[in-house]
A and B are shown apart, each in its own frame.
Chain A
């Protein structure tokens, strides 16, 4: 454990560059799905525990499309569209009936959905760890101490483009405004003639599309496996809990923060804690928030 600490800060501080870059790469992906969760949570009060499984499903779709030799941007567009439709149908089948129910219902229903998706993917794609090899060159810098694959740079750029598109969409478009209005006060929005059911359906489908896009990037820069979904769910919950709802800059910075934290713990204490790390972060965030609330004579709710 301390060997790695020395490596980071004494022998080869340049490795920090690698860790930070990796943290930024994964942070960008986390930001996408965390923003999606913040959206469904804020707009329709659904805590989607299947968030991570949407990501993994997007990844598998990308894998299939890649095997047909399609280029990455095309894959991204197709997966986004398919996941949008998927999200819409999940909304129509399940979420519509639990929108106005108490919170545990949404949590448990989406947990059931998560189990179902995991197992279905496991049956269909098999339990092996898979990845998309883009066969792109890798940049070596600082005497081969730092390696930056092109695929990661491309996916970072794509994540940036998607985020920018989402921001513009939410600010400028009519649908985006309807979503924000519904988030603030669903009843008032309904009175003013906004079809909230459609807004909900769109929001959920939109979230699903965002997760799908994140999944494509994950399958390119990382690995996917049917049961990895839960770690993404846990991470997105940690990010949203730390940043609060409806706070895009907060979500993005928290996402990068968690990406960095995770990469550093992975470096220092070893990969055995890869799954434990995001969970620990979540618990830590919850505890810190509790202490803050206690100071205000309040609780976390």
Chain B
């Protein structure tokens, strides 16, 4: 029961294009797992299959021991698995605190009622988490007015507000100012350690992913190319070839 996500032999095709072929993939509970690969190799398709954006053609996807490949996005999210988006998605006409407050968990056992008050404990937690990602001073701004990097941080904070068991991050550092990246890596690590959230990260920035992840999978052309510890993959000739355009 150590693997919180277990993807077994999953295939997915769009029309004639085979985006994922026979992919198997595991994420250990409490770990940080990386997913790398050249552009268009099917990483985001795999994410979308896991969180339920489209049906898969073959295979099975288990979350915490339950089959989830037939469930829809909302049901999967309520089981405790969230994802962030490559193109950041936030509620652009609401302010940051409101964005945070509505992101509370909606799992069955949670106490967050439909007509719960907006004040009190929820608000405090929202402000604490904004502080955690460094957006406290912007908390009353309309979120659509934030810069792209700040919106990414906000989206990350919203995901934490939901207290997920697993968080899938799609390129968390893309488009972020390089000076902020170290801060973000630090926050990701702390979210994993202090809040006990299992992370699964798609990332192009090799420095980031090699520092962050304990186990990395590499996709290429829709197939699983290699897996292993960061140090193993760094020296794997197949991975280097894939990135240098060996195809």
Contact = CB atoms under 8 A, between A and B. Distances in A.
A–B contact at 8 Å CB threshold (below):
yes
B72 interface: yes
A173 to B, nearest CB: 30
Interface string B48-91: 00001111000000000000000011000000000000000000
A298 B74 CA distance: 12
A298 to B, nearest CB: 7
Contacts of A67: none
Interface string B26-68: 0000000000000000000000000011110000000000000
Nearest to B71: A297
A296 interface: yes
Majority DSSP secondary structure for residues of B touching A: loop
A218 B54 CA distance: 44
A292 to B, nearest CB: 12
B210 to A, nearest CB: 34
Nearest to B70: A297
Interface string A283-300: 000000000000111100
A290 to B, nearest CB: 13
B177 to A, nearest CB: 28
Interface residues of A, number: 4
A298 B72 CA distance: 9
Contacts of A297: 52-55, 72-73
Nearest to A295: B55
Nearest to A299: B72
Contacts of B53: 297
B71 to A, nearest CB: 8
Contacts of A298: 54
Contacts of B52: 297
Contacts of A295: 55
A27 B186 CA distance: 65
Nearest to B56: A297
Contacts of B73: 297
A297 B51 CA distance: 11
Nearest to A296: B55
Residue in A295, A296, A297, A298 with the greatest tally of chain B CB atoms within 10 Å: A297
A297 B68 CA distance: 12
A20 B52 CA distance: 45
A295 B55 CA distance: 8
A297 B72 CA distance: 6
Contacts of B54: 296-298
A252 to B, nearest CB: 25
Nearest to B53: A297
A18 to B, nearest CB: 44
A245 B53 CA distance: 23
A96 B146 CA distance: 31
Contacts of A296: 54-55
A297 B55 CA distance: 7
B44 to A, nearest CB: 16
A295 B73 CA distance: 13
B191 to A, nearest CB: 28
A245 to B, nearest CB: 18
B60 to A, nearest CB: 16
List 10 tightest A-B contacts by C-beta distance, closest first.
Answer: A297-B72, A297-B54, A297-B55, A297-B52, A296-B55, A296-B54, A297-B53, A297-B73, A298-B54, A295-B55
Interface of B: 52-55, 72-73
10 contacts: A295-B55, A296-B54, A296-B55, A297-B52, A297-B53, A297-B54, A297-B55, A297-B72, A297-B73, A298-B54
Given A295-B55, A297-B53, A297-B55, 7 more contacts: A296-B54, A296-B55, A297-B52, A297-B54, A297-B72, A297-B73, A298-B54
